[in-house]
Amino acid sequence: MVESLKELEELCRKKNALYSYTDGREQKPVPKFFYHRFLDKISLVPTWLFLHTKITPNQVTVLSIVLGIVAAFFYSSSSMGSWIIGFFILQVIFVLDAVDGMIARYRKTANPIGKYFDIMAPNVIIPAVFTGITFYVYTLWGSPLAFMLGFLGIIGFLGRAVSTADKYFLIYQFSLTKNDSSIIEAMRGKPKQNVIDGKITLKYNLKKILTFQGASFFFLFAAVFDNYTTPIVIYGFPINLRALCLILFGIILPISFIRNMSAVSKLQKKIMKFL
């Protein structure tokens, strides 16, 4: 028998802390980003419903991927209404991202395959959404430049994901080889100070806002804003906020990928010094 919502929250919610910091002899939990706390609360209801079925965490993850592809079709439209629908689909996906983990923890079925699915889902959903935006910008510009920006952005995003995974793989593999977990912290370098006097820093909040979840709200604002304004024409290309999303995606992500590759290269050299 599945517990009540209140009991379920205590059993399978994620720990409401980023980490513990030391304040003298007392350790205090640091609260998560406010939108993540909101998603955790909302996700309790679908979790409770799914626990009354035979739906597995992996099936929930697959459902989120399918919804991501559906959202991409809505983002390919020039209609403000379609982008609003796409926004709400993304919010459902963000909720499901918490649901699959809650179900796995409740049923004690967490496994490496499930973790792999959970990691891979954003690497399908985010490129799919930006592919949809690429098609929208192509209809706005009528130029293959839109596809070039979309391609660069997707390659940059996927490359960044792979290089980040490669970085942490190198760290953990080397620490296991030397049988010294302290190497992990040494290789990572100085931890970022996300908390000052028990409060999350403004820098950390801004960093969380500049994620795909934050971008979804900007997409919503851009669709409404563009619906009531006229694009600015620059060198023959009409530029509105939605087109600006693609331009930034096509420029920032490849640069981020190059920076990550540089970090991996430096890490490899640091590892060679230890050997």
pLDDT of residue 189: 52
Give the sign of the dihedral formed by CA 60, CA 66, CA 71, CA 74: negative
Give residue 12's pLDDT band: very low, low, confident or very high (50, 70, 90).
Answer: low
More confident residue, 212 or 82: 82
Strands 199-200, 195-196: pairing is: antiparallel
pLDDT at residue 194 in the model = 53
Lowest mean pLDDT among 4-13, 162-171, 208-217: 4-13
What would the pLDDT profile of 111-124 be if each residue is shown by its tens digit?
777 777 788 899 99
* CATH code of 269's domain: 1.20.120.1760
Better-predicted residue by pLDDT, 185 or 271: 271
Rounded to whole angstroms, the Cα distance separating 216 from 195 reads: 26
- Considering the chain, what percentage of its residues have pLDDT values greater than 70? 72
More confident residue, 180 or 228: 228
CA atoms lying within 13 Å on the CB side of residue 176: 6
Confidence of residue 184 (pLDDT cuts 50, 70, 90): low
Q: What whole-number distance in Å separates Cα of residue 5 and Cα of residue 226?
A: 41
Q: Kindly report the pTM of this predicted structure.
A: 0.81
Q: What is the mean pLDDT of the chain?
A: 80
Q: What is the largest CA-CA distance in the chain?
A: 64
Question: Domain containing 136: what range?
Answer: 5-274
Question: How many domains, in total, are found in the chain?
Answer: 1
